[in-house]
Structure 1
């Protein structure tokens, strides 16, 4: 399979303090340990990806960042603030937006109404500019503006989920499995949109993906999660070349 994403341009980290810093985080579901001492850094202007098999704990990490479930031990710091114990609604007001696994759009609402929901927490004067930005990124949404979300295709729903998150003007965009269940052409469109947001606007992105090839081609840096632990980290290119990664996540290097 040929590469669909250009090699990311290097990010100059102006400060040693990450925008998002996760230190020693452990998360439980009842007595079951889901995350085991996780350490992750995401610096301003980076695309960072977390790859791993289904059930590795990737989505749990995303949800833990957002406060549900809460980390039982460790700390999560965002923009210099400890957010570990904050409720989800307060975390979302700090400039973090999530496009969750499974999209979770409002199916009975139109495309416009879904985007209005995404803008609910920000200054209304920005709405028209932000709407134009989303439609420039995903022209298909403009064509479907009066259509109910539940009648959109899977790819269109994923575009809507990302667009809804962007309407909140985030400093950090969390993307949970954006390629899941989508046709290859749509996956290409989604990943190119993410790259464009990062390259043109400097948006910081933390991406969780089972599609290791596309994610690592896109990302400046990556982490590998196995059974709730970080087992490897490095630049996207470095991880793509690791034999362990190729064997486990790239079908023996056949991509």
Structure 2
């Protein structure tokens, strides 16, 4: 399984996180994090549960805001921006726990994702989503809350993609899903990156799948980045193997 399209060599980062510290009350959750994502890359952040991965994802998206450090996206400092302004800059997030609108149909959920452009590209983009996730087309008039976990995850990603993002942030897309569904979702991410050059920042506990997909990866332990490298380097790293891959998926 080859990684996706080659990112632009030597390009300035699309996303640069520098020295970011995030607190919950007096508890420090991120302790000076440096991460960057270049245009056209798939970058993954792996780590144990509670390492601070989702906190980093939420901090990039402006809630909670970083107390120290800076977050620069596409040349703009977004460190103090509220989430709705960050979304307007073409950053889309598929959050942990999916958070689709359960009472709305599949179609209505996709419309919510496309609202940034006042549904201007809705027909064309929804067709792209149905080609990517045929299951959603079969469920088009079904309420989100009645879908299976895998279908809800597909809908969460499709809804994020309807905003035509330059950067797609995915938080634990494989959580609680059957291996076959996980493969479908990771294949879809690879395909979007390969055909459209979509830049993806992926937080994932399933280190094996994430590192196979990613151009580069970071390892987070207790709010600190402890290691980084290409997806392949991290997959072959003895420490990473021992901590995240042994007894896992091979």
Q: Given the two structures, how large is their TM-score scaled by the length of structure 1?
A: 0.96
Cα distance per residue 1:51-73 (max 9 Å; x no partner) = 00000000000000000000000
Task: List, as ranges, runs of 4+ consecutive aligned residues in structure 1 with deviation greater than 4 Å.
Answer: none
> How big is the shift at 1:254?
6.8
Cα distance per residue 1:188-216 (max 9 Å; x no partner) = 00000000000011000000000000000
Pair 1:203-2:195 in alignment: no
Distance 1:16 1:143 in 2: 40
Pair 1:57-2:56 in alignment: no
Match of 2:12 among 17, 21, 24: 17
> How big is the shift at 1:16?
3.5
Please give the secondary structure, in 1, of the residue aligned with 2:212: helix
Matched-pair contact (CA < 8 Å) for 1:247–1:253: no
2:216 is aligned to 221
> How big is the shift at 1:10?
5.8
Pair 1:236-2:231 in alignment: yes
2:84 is aligned to 89
Matched-pair contact (CA < 8 Å) for 1:22–1:76: yes
Q: Which runs of 5+ in 1 are unaligned?
A: 1-5
Distance 1:41 1:228 in 2: 16
> How big is the shift at 1:252?
5.6
User: How many positions carry a matched residue from both structures?
Assistant: 250
Please give the secondary structure, in 1, of the residue aligned with 2:151: helix
1:3 is aligned to none
Q: Which runs of 5+ in 2 are unaligned?
A: none
> How big is the shift at 1:17?
1.3
Matched-pair contact (CA < 8 Å) for 1:48–1:221: yes
Match of 2:73 among 72, 75, 78: 78
RMSD of the TM alignment (CA)?
Answer: 1.2
Match of 1:130 among 121, 125, 132: 125
> How big is the shift at 1:251?
1.8
Match of 1:188 among 174, 183, 190: 183
